[in-house]
Amino acid sequence: MIVKAFSSSANLGAGYDILALAHNAFEDTIEIEAKNSSELDIKVEGEGVPLAVEKNSASYALYELLREYNVRAKVRLKVIKGIPAGLGLGSSGASAAAAVYGANELFKLGLSRQELVKFAMKGEIASSGSPHPDNVAASLIGGVISVVNPNSIKVEQVPINLDFELILIIPLVKIEAKTKKAREMVPKQIEISKYVANARYLSSLILGFIKGDRELIRLGLNDDIVEKSREPLFPYYPKIKEVSLLNNAIGACVSGAGPTIAIFVDSMSDKNKIIDESLKVCKAYGYECIYKLAKVSGGAWIERRD
Ligand SMILES: Nc1ncnc2c1ncn2[C@@H]1O[C@H](COP(=O)(O)OP(=O)(O)O)[C@@H](O)[C@H]1O
Ligand SMILES: N[C@@H](CCOP(=O)(O)O)C(=O)O
């Protein structure tokens, strides 16, 4: 069986560990097949990813799912990366999402996409040390998702009533254990005024998506807490955001834990100028960046069943 899942941008605006968006910028592919066996055994194959079951987000998630449902089988799991890892594009989350989605079909477990989030998110323990559900939920379910409850895992799709696309500004860097480091940078305590400002942004962003209100989305694509605390990882971000807004972008935010920047644009935005100016900002800060256009995408899918 061949399964695919798209990349994602998490932490939209002030939606840290809450709001994420699946997009068709890149996709991961998982090959999964199983033979009968008296016990569960998973063999990981792939290039450029850890091959130890407990170190690969896809096999870690798969193991948790199959153990929970007492599946005894010899499973071959091949991870074929299309999403560059460590750049804030939900790379670890996408293959975990594809792995559990494929296993659910292969072993006829009958779980919903929402129910599979609980297992896919465990895969993020392998990649970042924390089971954050946002990326995997977006890659599993598609669209824009909001993690309403991380414990009972309640995830809802946010209706999107504005036509927009993304310009992803992607620095070609390698930050070892990037998301793990980025999560350690988030403050444990904040002033109430910062909480209220971020709650306003989040409210504005979600209302903007639902009402299709460009101005509300622009107001909502801000974060005074997490993005600010992680800025040393992407010093070019404030300037990229400034030049994007000057050229009539809807707004911009850090994609996941970065270093990629997601710029929301529509027919009113000067896309070419935003791309040119943003790449110049990258250079000015000493980074080599590429850009990728993307649209909101669907969730994981079965490419081939046999
Ligand atoms: N299946 C996988 N796909 C991508 N990265 C993985 C996978 N399994 C484990 N990893 C590890 O996770 C890290 C990348 O994940 P992360 O830091 O969350 O960045 P991102 O999700 O932005 O790609 C890398 O260190 C990589 O070795
Ligand atoms: N909410 C997470 C999102 C990480 O996204 P990634 O694409 O950078 O892995 C976090 O900010 O830790």
Q: Does residue 153 carry a pLDDT above 90? A: no
Residues 13, 74: Cα–Cα separation, whole Å = 42
Q: Is 54 a known active-site residue? A: no
**Which H or E run includes 257?**
none
Helix 91-106, helix 113-120: angle, nearest 10? 120
Residue type, position 45, single letter: E
- Best mutation site among 179, 223, 233 for ligand 2 pocket (most ligand atoms within 8 Å of CB): 179
Say which residue the tokens 């946010």 belong to.
Answer: 158
Q: Is the CB of 80 under 6 A from ligand 1?
A: no
Residues 214, 266: Cα–Cα separation, whole Å = 9
Give pLDDT, residue 150: 80
Q: Is the CB of 139 under 6 A from ligand 2?
A: no
Q: Is 33 a known active-site residue? A: no
Q: Is the CB of 120 under 6 A from ligand 1?
A: no
Q: What percentage of the chain carries pLDDT values higher than 90?
A: 97
What's this model's pTM, rounded to 2 decimal places? 0.97
Residue of 179, 227, 260, 277 marked catalytic? 179
3-class secondary structure, 148: strand
In the structure, what pLDDT confidence band is assigned to residue 111 with cuts at 50, 70 and 90?
Answer: very high
Q: Is the CB of 127 under 6 A from ligand 1?
A: yes
Residue of 31, 64, 124, 277 marked catalytic? 124
Q: Does residue 151 carry a pLDDT above 90? A: no
Helix 91-106, helix 134-141: angle, nearest 10? 50
The answer to whether 42 and 60 have CB atoms below 8 angstroms apart is no
**Which H or E run includes 41?**
strand 41-46
Q: What is the mean pLDDT of residues 160-167?
A: 98
Nearest-CA residue for ligand 1 atom 21 is 90
Give pLDDT, residue 188: 97
The answer to whether 97 and 114 have CB atoms below 8 angstroms apart is no
Q: What is the mean pLDDT of residues 175-199?
A: 96
Query: What's the CA-to-centroid distance between 72 and ligand 2, angstroms?
Result: 32
The answer to whether 19 and 296 have CB atoms below 8 angstroms apart is no
The answer to whether 100 and 107 have CB atoms below 8 angstroms apart is no
Residues 175, 108: Cα–Cα separation, whole Å = 38
pLDDT digits (tens, 9 = 90+) for 278-301: 999 999 999 999 999 999 999 999
Is the ipTM beyond the 0.95 threshold? yes
Cα 18–Cα 90–Cα 298 angle in degrees, nearest 5: 80
